[in-house]
Amino acid sequence: MSAKHTPGPWVADGEYVHAVEFIRLCCGRGYSSCCGDPEISESRFQIAQCAPENAPLIAAAPDLLEALKDALAGWRYIREHHGDLYGVGWDRVEEAARAAIARATGERG
């Protein structure tokens, strides 16, 4: 199943969001007015206004962030009380979750 929303990564810059893949998809199909000059590879645009299919993802972002925080807390509890039961691969997941939370909360660019 392919995603209906613009694939990441997205980069927040004030009220604008950069998504180079969206610029390629959008401007490549003749919608240059919604993503700026297609000659500029890092055009800025308001992602929800430009691509309505992104609105559900944006609206769900706070819930997704809280769910990820909760999952990470549960994972920490399991590791503290039961050890690393699931193998090395979970370290990668934990690192990715921490990075995503930091990015979403503005703790790290």
Domain that holds residue 93: 55-102
Residue 105 CA to residue 101 CA, distance in Å, equals 6
Cis peptide before 9 (omega within 30 of 0): yes
Residue 37 CA to residue 30 CA, distance in Å, equals 11
**Number of compact structural domains in the chain:** 2
Contact, 45 vs 17, CB < 8 A? yes
In a domain, 107, yes or no: no
Quick one: 42 and 67 in the same domain? no
Q: What is the pLDDT of residue 108?
A: 65
Q: What is the pLDDT of residue 21?
A: 56
pLDDT digits (tens, 9 = 90+) for 70-81: 999 998 888 888
Residue 90 CA to residue 75 CA, distance in Å, equals 9
Tell whether the model's pLDDT for residue 94 goes beyond 70.
yes
pTM: 0.61
Q: Which of 20, 12, 5, 21 is nearest to 102 (CA)?
A: 12
Using pLDDT thresholds of 50, 70 and 90, give the confidence band for residue 1: very low
pLDDT digits (tens, 9 = 90+) for 10-64: 777 666 666 655 554 454 444 434 444 433 344 455 555 556 677 777 778 889 9
Using pLDDT thresholds of 50, 70 and 90, give the confidence band for residue 66: very high
Q: What is the pLDDT of residue 41?
A: 40
Quick one: 43 and 68 in the same domain? no
- Cβ neighbours of residue 54 under 8 Å, at least 6 residues apart? 5, 6, 47, 48
Q: Is 80 exposed, middle or buried (0-12, 13-18, 19+ CB in 10 A)?
A: exposed
